[in-house]
Structure 1
């Protein structure tokens, strides 16, 4: 991809000596930097319900000013809590117990979500094919009750991670359909016990693209067992066409489409600290969906939940890493108010290049415009959306759902 963000990334990563992150993790400043440190900007901010939409506030433009993000990010239209804009788009939202804002967002905007997946559970494999569900201490029954009161149609489908599984564990299970059935029965009993509507299963990438046919067979047995008891199965998928070895492709999808209810496609983390750039280029996202289901009229497209990141990335010569919405606002507090986020026409993402003394970095973070572009892409593709994760986003994003 020879475009603007790569040129900027190359210049920053090769032309500077010392970089540091600005954000919640802290930054290393020289004495001169500390003396020059600017005071926090005196910008009037708005929070909670307001009378104008993001469009009426001028926030749905590809190029957006820093001061507008700082001022408006915590505000949303007064009707946004009750109205789902994209009615035909299935929306799955992840919530993590280490980021409490996600719980609050889920309650505030319950009617925007069809499926909520709190990241609570793990399954561990013991000796002689025994299994144990862990993480049940994180389950919040009061929160689930409030979500269902706000939106009786919402489905609560916690994520379940195959925690600590080694290759030999998978080999043993893949050889035994009885073990696979026991897994499915354990998952169904867990749903019954805690009144879940199903589970999001994350394990496919753990075998590195190997043994895909028997892995699909195991997934089908688990999904059929769950479905027999009235529970949904959602499978987390790595994106295709990102590496030479595709962990999941069209053949795998076709094997599972009749049994799995939804596929949560991780169309983010396209770039890395070794290759700075956008998190989820729009053409790549489209390619990932079309690679699994080429026919736009195929109803199986509706089973794909296109991954949408609500976090950003801060790249430096020393690496960098992901940032949450609150980190992004702290970064912008050190930028001139009238400076603008740049827009890359190829990836259709926003970024900003920052310099402070001898330090510099490039930050990619979603904007209302980039989020809307991805929601419209999902409509165009007849797919759904899966958000990782709602506690990491900014409040004005949720008005768009």
Structure 2
């Protein structure tokens, strides 16, 4: 799971940083960028656009409009220094920043060990706090359990859940974090542990974001997080960060990384009541209102993941994750290759001599932002090594106008 997350963070593009979904101003794209918001793309156009210089001083944050209630979470990793810079430059555009720093390891000896503290950058944390509108800092903690430790927590949890929660609370208080982003295997199984950690953080007025995997196939129903599981922990978890990407790899065939119909199905499975879970009683309006209220509560807590990296497929080798730098290098070599638009998945694909590459484009991401708005959910993104001038240009674009 963390490998997928790491790859995304490494691949965030200068084409893909966003304004709030619910902006009021009718802003327009820089003329040089408008050519990217199209189904027909050519490598020379992309290369010319990414070469445009730009700058973004911290003083420009003051000009950003007042944010609405939408939540915007960005992940940053210690192995991609550019992400730290982007987080500082655009700190006021995001409500939450999650540095991927920690691992909480529990082996057979049942003695938990918190690792990753050496990655903590206190100077960077202070710079975030000094932003015009500072975001909340909620570091990612990956819980790694041996089989024995997992079984112990599930069947003999006395004292174990409290100990893990206490370790996280102590680290939050030590550095003044605003909460924790928790990633653990099979979160739908460990709801009792999640509730305990959430309660412990809420006791000190901090937040808990839970990373959850998506359902890739119908055969996985009941084996991944769904709306019922959200209801079990909805009071203890502030937001659910759903990993709506890596679909082609999960199903084992070439294709789009994050097809739009699949994303819609995943979000629907997390938000909507199912017929089995909810029985309609004639024209009982109270029951209907209760159902709609539950769905609205779930939707407000969903952070829909947006992919900022691609996969290259060929017969000669296994699928390769493509970062932004890989992508631009390939465009230079394959300048005459065609980039086609897949209408079903709403993604672009480059077909060249070495195979095919599915890579996110401005248009594909705008469709996904529109989906988030339609479903009433919010979104997450991942920082990586891209030019800040490009990023700043897109920050001032109103996403409502982008998809016809």
TM-score (norm: length of structure 2)? 0.77
Aligned to 1:57: 33
**Secondary structure of 2:182's partner?**
strand
Q: Is the 8 A contact 1:371 1:397 kept in 2?
A: no
2:176 to 191, 195, 201: 195
1:171 aligns with 2:173: no
Q: Is the 8 A contact 2:82 2:386 kept in 1?
A: no
2:194 to 219, 223, 235: 219
1:238 aligns with 2:213: yes
Deviations 1:156-203 (A, max 9, x none): 11110123x212111112221421012111111100101111111110
Deviations 1:52-109 (A, max 9, x none): 8246632211222212211223658878865369844311111111111211211222
Change in CA separation of 1:391 and 1:84 when aligned onto 2, cut-off 3 Å = farther
Matches within 5 A, 1:174-185: 174=154, 175-185=156-166
Change in CA separation of 1:386 and 1:344 when aligned onto 2, cut-off 3 Å = same
Distance 2:338 2:87 in 1: 31
Aligned to 1:229: 204
Distance 2:55 2:118 in 1: 35
* Higher RCO, Cα 8 Å, sep 6+: 2
Unpaired segments ≥5 residues, structure 1? 1-23, 25-45
Aligned to 1:16: none
Point out the structure with the larger strand share: 1
1:289 to partner: Cα distance: 1.1
370-379 vs 137-146, which moves further:
370-379
1:365 aligns with 2:364: no
Deviations 1:219-269 (A, max 9, x none): 111111111112111110000243512321221111111110110100000
Deviations 1:117-137 (A, max 9, x none): 111001122565322211000
Count of residue pairs the alignment pairs up = 340
Unpaired segments ≥5 residues, structure 2? 1-9, 16-26, 273-291, 396-404
1:112 to partner: Cα distance: 2.1
1:331 to partner: Cα distance: 0.6
Cα RMSD of the aligned pairs, angstroms, is: 2.8
Q: Is the 8 A contact 1:188 1:231 kept in 2?
A: no
Aligned to 2:335: 336
Q: Is the 8 A contact 2:241 2:304 kept in 1?
A: yes
1:345 to partner: Cα distance: 0.6
